[in-house]
Amino acid sequence: MRTETALNKRDAAIRSTRDLYSRAYHSGMTHKDMLENAKKIRSNLEKCPGWVTDYVRGYEAALFARLFEAAPNNPPALVFGTFIDDKFYSVHKDRPDYYGKHGIEPKDMPEDGRHHWGHLNPPKPF
């Protein structure tokens, strides 16, 4: 494969991956659906040199890691928590839905907690 062709395919996969993470964030896509979509994007790279696939996987890994990162005035996209009586409670002390702010003890938290898209109301499971 020509280098120019490989670079074009890499760039297209990067754009598609960026679009996937944007759609996931805004729609509350599940992790399973994200993985399936990412796999479809990478399937277009099957005949490309390994460095192209590695580059796209690295870009995807960086975007995935950012879902869990918080910055000043920018909370993480994913928060860990659970629903109790149809109300969401997180384990993040800086969030208004932190279970401790509502008088809930750690022993009272269900063990079915998981990551949720924290910016959606109500938070959707990841």
Q: Which of 25, 67, 23, 68 is nearest to 41 (CA)?
A: 23
CA-nearest of 7, 80, 78, 89 to 49 is 7
pLDDT of residue 73: 74
User: pLDDT digit of tens for each residue in the chain (126 aa)?
Assistant: 899 999 999 999 999 999 999 999 999 999 999 999 999 999 999 999 999 999 999 999 999 999 998 777 778 899 999 999 889 999 988 888 999 999 998 888 888 889 999 888 888 999
User: By the 8 A CB rule, do 62 and 69 touch?
Assistant: no
Residue ranges of domains in the chain: 3-66, 78-125
The pLDDT value given to residue 74: 77
What's the confidence (pLDDT) of residue 16? 98
pLDDT at 109: 85
Q: Which residues of 106-119 are buried (b: 16+ CB within 10 A; e: fewer)?
A: eeebeeeeebbbbe
Question: What is the predicted pLDDT for the residue at 15?
Answer: 98
